[in-house]
Amino acid sequence: MSNISIVALHELEPNQEADFFALLSEKELLKTKRGKPYIQVVFRDAFREVRFPIWSDMAIYAELRNFKVGTFCKLRATYIVTPNYGAQLEIRRIRSVTDDDVKDGFDPILLRPKSPLPLDAMFEELQQIAVAQLGKGNLLNVVTKILKEHRAGILTCVAARQHHHCYIGGLLEHTLSVVKITVALVEHYHTTYPERRGEISRGLTVAGAILHDIGKVREYEPELGSLRHSTVGELIGHALLGRDMIREAAQEIGLDPAILIRLEHIVVAHQRFSDWGAAKPPMSLEAMIVHHADSCDALLGCFWNTFSQDTTDYELTSKKNVLGYPLLKPNKNN
C-alpha cells in the first residue's frame, strides 16, 4: 500500500480519503430479506467506531471475508457521513498491519478505547482498600493473592462488551467504583444502626465487592481489551469462573469454609437475576449490598455510554439504547 497521508480514524473529516490504522472489532456475515449477502463490519480506533455493510457486489467483499475479528488493519478509505445511514467507509485497500507499520505510528493501544483514569494508581488504591477494610487474616490473603496473580488481566480487561466500561481498564475502573460504593454503604448502616453492626461483615462485603467480577479476566479473550468472550467465558460465565478462582486461592491459603461459602455466594449472586447470569439471588445482607453497588455503577455507565453515542439535538436521547427508553441528557451547566 503506497503512502498517502496517514490520519487517525477519529480525525477524519467527511469525504476525506486517507491511510489509517483501525481494528476490525466486529464482523458478521448476513443476508438481506431478498437473500443478498453482505458483511456487517465495525472498524474502530480509541475514539471512533464506524459500523457499515460491505455488499457482495463490492470489490472489497471477497477480501474482507478472510479477515478475522480482532485483526489490526491498515486501510485506505474515504470517510463518508450520510443523513440516512450515518458514518461509513468507502474502502479502497486493506491489509493486516506489519512490524514495519510501527514507524508510521501503529500502536494497538491507540486503536482501543481506554479508561481515562490511571490504571496503576487504581490498582494500588484497590489494594490499599483491601488492607484497610479486610483486617489481617486469610480473607485478606485470598484477596491479595488473586489480585497479584491476575494483575495484568485486571489492568486491561473490559467490564462489558457493549453496555458499560467497555474499554481497556474498564473492569478495574468499575470494580474500584463498586468497592467504594460498598464501603460507603457498609459505613452508613454501621453508623446509623450501631446495635446491628455485627449483622453486616465489613470485611466479607468489601472482599465480595473486590472479587465480584474477577471471573471476567477468564470470561474474555486475553488479548488487550478484547470484547470477545472466550469459549469458557461463553459456556460458564464470569460469576462461576470467579467462584472457581476464589476456591483455588482459598484452598492454597486455607480460608475458613464458613467464610468461603458466604464469599462465593456474593460472587454468584451479584447479578441477582438468572437471565443476567446469577446462579442465585442475593440471600445475605453482604450479597444484597454488593448487588446494589454493582447495579448502581453499571447503570451509571450505561447512561454515560448512551449519552456519548446519542447524536440528536433533543433534551432526551433516542429510546434505541440498552435500557429501551429515552434518557434525559445531563445539564452540564449545573
Q: What is the mean pLDDT of the chain?
A: 91
How much is the pLDDT for 226? 77
CATH number of 119-309: 1.10.3210
Residue 39, pLDDT above cutoff 70: yes
How much is the pLDDT for 42? 92
Q: Do the beta carbons of residue 288 and residue 268 sit within 8 Å?
A: no
SS3 per residue for the chain: CCCCCECCHHHCCCCEEEEEEEEEEEEEEEECCCCCEEEEEEEECCCCEEEEEEECCCCCHHHHCCCCCCCEEEEEEEEEEECCCEEEEEEEEEEECCHHHHHHCCCHHHHCCECCCCHHHHHHHHHHHHHHHHCCCHHHHHHHHHHHHCHHHHHHCCCCCCCCCCCECHHHHHHHHHHHHHHHHHHHHHHHCHHHHHHCCHHHHHHHHHHCCCCHHHHECCCCCCCCECHHHHHHCHHHHHHHHHHHHHHHHCCCHHHHHHHHHHHHHCCCCHHHCCCCCCCCHHHHHHHHHHHHHHHHHHHHHHHHHCCCCCCECCCCCCCCCCCECCCCCC
Q: How much of the chain, in percent, has pLDDT values that exceed 90?
A: 70
Which of the four pLDDT bands, split at 50, 70 and 90, describes residue 102?
Answer: very high
Distance CA 20, CA 74 (A): 6
Q: Do the beta carbons of residue 294 and residue 178 sit within 8 Å?
A: yes
The strand order across the sheet containing 72-82 reads 49-55, 37-44, 16-31, 72-82, 86-96
Q: Which of 121, 50, 116, 107 is nearest to 81 (CA)?
A: 50
Instruction: Give the mean pLDDT of 131-148.
Output: 96
Q: Do the beta carbons of residue 26 and residue 33 sit within 8 Å?
A: no
pTM of the predicted model, to two decimals? Answer: 0.80
How much is the pLDDT for 223? 77
Distance CA 249, CA 268 (A): 16
Distance CA 220, CA 234 (A): 9
Task: For residue range 287-296, list pLDDT tens digits in order.
Answer: 999 999 999 9
Instruction: Give the mean pLDDT of 6-16.
Output: 94
Which of the four pLDDT bands, split at 50, 70 and 90, describes residue 56?
Answer: very high
Residue 263, pLDDT above cutoff 90: yes
Which of the four pLDDT bands, split at 50, 70 and 90, describes residue 319?
Answer: confident
How much is the pLDDT for 3? 57
Task: For residue range 186-238, list pLDDT tens digits in order.
Answer: 999 999 999 999 999 999 999 999 999 999 999 998 777 777 888 998 899 99
Which of the four pLDDT bands, split at 50, 70 and 90, describes residue 334?
Answer: low
Distance CA 300, CA 33 (A): 37
CATH superfamily of 9-111: Nucleic acid-binding proteins (2.40.50.140)
Instruction: Compare 313 and 137 and report the one with higher pLDDT.
Output: 137
Residue ranges of the chain that CATH labels 2.40.50.140: 9-111
Task: For residue range 60-100, list pLDDT tens digits in order.
Answer: 999 999 998 889 999 999 999 988 888 999 999 999 999 99
Distance CA 229, CA 95 (A): 25
Of 64-68, 124-128, 221-225, 254-258, least confident by mean pLDDT is 221-225
Instruction: Give the mean pLDDT of 99-109.
Output: 91
Residue ranges of the chain that CATH labels 1.10.3210: 119-309
How much is the pLDDT for 275? 67
